[in-house]
Amino acid sequence: MARYSYVLPVISFFFITDAVAAVKLARFISHDAPFEQQACLGYVTQHSQGIPREIANLGSIDGKFCQPLGVSVAPELINEALQRGDDLPSLSREIISESEQAERILPPIQYSKEQLVNGERLIIGVGFNYVEHLEETGDYSGTSPLLLFSKPVFPTGPYTPVKVGSSDQLLLDYEVELAMITLTDIDLSNPPTPNELYPNVAFALANDLSDRVPIITNPEFGYTQGKSEPGYLPLGPWLRLGREGFADEQGNWQIDSSISLGVTKAESGEFILEQDASLTQMRFDPYQIIQIMAKRHDAQDNICMRDADGQPHWVLPQNGIIPAGSILLTGTAGGTAIQAPSLWKKIGLFFKAGFSIDNARNVFLNEQIVDRNRLGYLQHQDMVSANIQGLGQQVFEVQVLAQDNIQNRTLPSPICQ
């Protein structure tokens, strides 16, 4: 994809859908008594280019909407909050300054380590859902099956710096995506109709950050390993109910919203628009993704991949139930830093690697590492700006930790068997 240079540090959008006034539910740290330093749910009443500037605190009418930091957020509570838009006039307002946004704006959903380990919450990633991104991976027919993988990682706030270890063996890539949060259980043995699905889910902006190294070295099983490091899931800034502007009365997917991501490069100060697409360009909408998951569950077509610590993760729940509070990442548009080599380049790599496919992958990996800055992989102090029309904007800085702050380690095999 071609890259376009701008001098602006962030992307500006105007909301043009009919759902402009719909509830925008955020989670933030309150500074007002009696909920000071608690995590509260509230409605975004003012925002600047998709960044919340004023939030109406639901805790001011019912204390259950504020909880101590670190407490898991029940999906039932989120569902109730999304339904209570008529309470807006009676709520107290809190101002969020630009200097406070990284600290105070939290990911809109929170869960515990136990919930993640025990499968009480799932994060399911989707790959190859945009034709242009398929072409980047080398499939110019645009017909590859949908990729599903587990991403066992805790969401972070949309303005929280993403901290990564200093390593010569890191290719950090960006992936702006539409995230669907389930508010009730989904039974893959009896999947919901569109009319049953969309009133019971919420949508948010997500970034499926990825280290491409495990994926390049093992393109079949390396996805969970490359996508599950801490901080690799900025989420938010707010949630919207799935039935509001995303699907028509018959449950058909209809939203024509822009989805885009840009990077302000620390080295040059140049703003580069990397990803630019529309949600209508998805090969499969969220309902269709659920149907694909249901068919694979019925066929017992399940995939296990290991994370960076060697722990195995099945992409589909063994009992067929996607629990409420889970996150489905619906795929990334074209424009990522990773680009598959051309056919002639592959032939050259194969010769250069002594006719070994594994060696050819390693040669390609080394070339990517040497040239990673020019190719667009994220570097220290790069600023990432991501936007989905109607779902707000993320802006976060990449921070590479000093070498003596991390431990060098060899990644285990990503294959479960």
The pLDDT tens digits of the residues spanning 268-278 come to 999 999 999 99
pLDDT of residue 64: 96
3-state SS assignment for residue 50? coil
pLDDT of res. 349: 64
**Choice among 32-41, 285-294, 357-366 with the minimum mean pLDDT:** 357-366
Cα of 389 vs its chain's centroid, Å: 15
What's residue 203's pLDDT? Answer: 96
What's the gap between Cα 327 and its chain centre?
9
Q: What tokens appear for 174 in the block?
A: 């960006």
* Mean of pLDDT values over 257-269: 95
Per the model's pLDDT, the better-predicted residue between 106 and 245 turns out to be 106
Q: Is the pLDDT of residue 344 over 90?
A: no
159 pLDDT exceeds 60?
Answer: yes
Compare 349 and 127 and report the one with higher pLDDT: 127
Provide the pLDDT for residue 249. 66
The residues that bridge with 158 in the sheet, in sequence order, are none
Q: Which residue has the tokens 């280019």?
A: 49
User: So what's the pLDDT on residue 136?
Assistant: 81
Asked which of 221-225, 362-366, 382-386 is least confident by mean pLDDT, the reply is 362-366
Q: Is the pLDDT of residue 167 over 90?
A: no
Could you give the CA distance from residue 331 to residue 282 in angstroms, rounded to a whole number?
Answer: 8
Domains of the chain and CATH, by start: 20-106 (no CATH), 111-337+376-405 (3.90.850.10)
Angstrom distance (rounded) from CA 164 to CA 395 = 17
pLDDT of 15 strictly over 80:
no
Residue 342 near residue 139 (C-beta atoms within 8 A): no
Q: How many CB atoms lie within 10 A of CB 35?
A: 21
Q: Could you give the C-alpha distances from 396 to 277, 310, 367, 375, in angstroms and in order?
A: 21, 29, 27, 20
Q: Per-residue confidence at 200, pLDDT binned at 50, 70, 90? A: very high
Give me the pLDDT at residue 245, please: 67
Q: According to the model, what pLDDT value does residue 398 have?
A: 97
**CA dist., res. 359 & res. 365, Å (int):** 10
pLDDT beyond 80 at 355: no
State yes or no: pLDDT of 210 exceeds 50: yes
pLDDT of residue 362: 79
pLDDT digits (tens, 9 = 90+) for 57-91: 999 999 999 999 999 999 999 999 998 877 788 89
Please give the average per-residue pLDDT across 194-219, as a whole number.
94
Question: What is the average per-residue pLDDT within 217-229?
Answer: 94
- Output the pLDDT for position 350: 60
What is the share, in percent, of the chain residues with pLDDT greater than 90? Answer: 70
Residue 178's DSSP bridge partners are 205
Mean pLDDT calculated for residue range 201-216: 96
Q: What are the tens digits of pLDDT across the range 95-109?
A: 999 999 999 999 999
- Is pLDDT of 416 > 70? yes
Instruction: Determine the average pLDDT of the residues in 217-232.
Output: 94
Reply yes or no on whether the pLDDT at 137 is more than 90. no
Give the residue-averaged pLDDT of 284-313. Answer: 95
Judge whether residue 300 has pLDDT over 80.
yes
CA distance 1 to 267: 21
pLDDT higher than threshold 50 for residue 316: yes
What average pLDDT does this structure show over 313-340?
94
Mean local confidence (pLDDT), 326-335: 96
